[in-house]
Amino acid sequence: MGLFTFVKNAGAKLFGKKTEEKAKQRKIEATPENTAAPELTQEDIDAAKADELIELIRSFELNIDSLYVAVEDDLATIAGYADSRATKEKAILIVGNVDGIAQVEDKIKVVLQDRSAGVEAEEVEPVEIEVEEPVFHTVASGESLSKIAKHYYGDYGKYMVIFEANTPMLESPDLIYPGQVLRIPSLDA
């Protein structure tokens, strides 16, 4: 758990007119007796942004129970129960690599469940485990995955380790951009 910094104006363009429309719709549903056009506050817009970030995380089909996201200006707080360190780190990166988000406060817990034969899922008590702080790398102009691999692993050829650790967010090893933040997994993992 911690606070991670991202490049605020780099990343996927997620927020825009659609976000404002969602905020208006939320406000109308919350106050149906008010027939006038709703006055939107920053709080309303931030709540709509949080909803969009939750939809984005879910689109990657990450296994996170009780997923929660809150946005306040350019800070996103994310919480829930992830099934692995990789899932937790990917969720942080998905949120942080959105244009307009400069910081992500991580409150995700990694939990393991006993998958013993004959034990019903409802009877399983999740166990929280400690995980090391993630290693993230902010892509600089002119960098490639192979250059990043050389820096962290001493071997240009290990670029696919970084690519695979960042899928499905990365669609190709050649499609990275300055300001993007990537997971750098341990070779031991």
- Rounded mean pLDDT, 21-35: 75
Task: Quote the domain boundaries for residue 35.
Answer: 2-133
Q: CA geometry: angle at 178 spanning 177 and 183, to 5°?
A: 75
Are 88 and 153 within one domain? no
Same domain, 49 and 108: yes
Q: Report which of 186, 184, 157, 163 is spatially closest to residue 175, judged by C-alpha positions.
A: 163
Average pLDDT for 145-170: 95
Whether residue 149 is found in the same domain as residue 86? no
How many structural domains comprise the chain? 2
Chain segment 51-74, per-residue pLDDT in tens: 999 999 999 999 999 999 999 999
Identify the domain boundary among 86, 102, 133. 133
Q: Are residues 40 and 128 in the same domain?
A: yes
Helix axes 85-96, 42-59, angle to 10 degrees: 130
> Of all residues in the chain, what percent carry a pLDDT higher than 90?
62
92-125, pLDDT tens digit by residue?
A: 999 999 999 999 999 999 997 655 555 454 555 6
Counting every residue written for the chain, the total comes to: 189
- The CATH number for 178's domain is 3.10.350.10
Q: How far is CA 1 from CA 85, 92, 150, in A?
A: 11, 10, 28
Indicate whether 76 and 128 sit together in one domain: yes
What burial class does residue 132 get, using C-beta atoms within 10 Å of its C-beta: 0-12 exposed, 13-18 middle, 19+ buried?
Answer: exposed
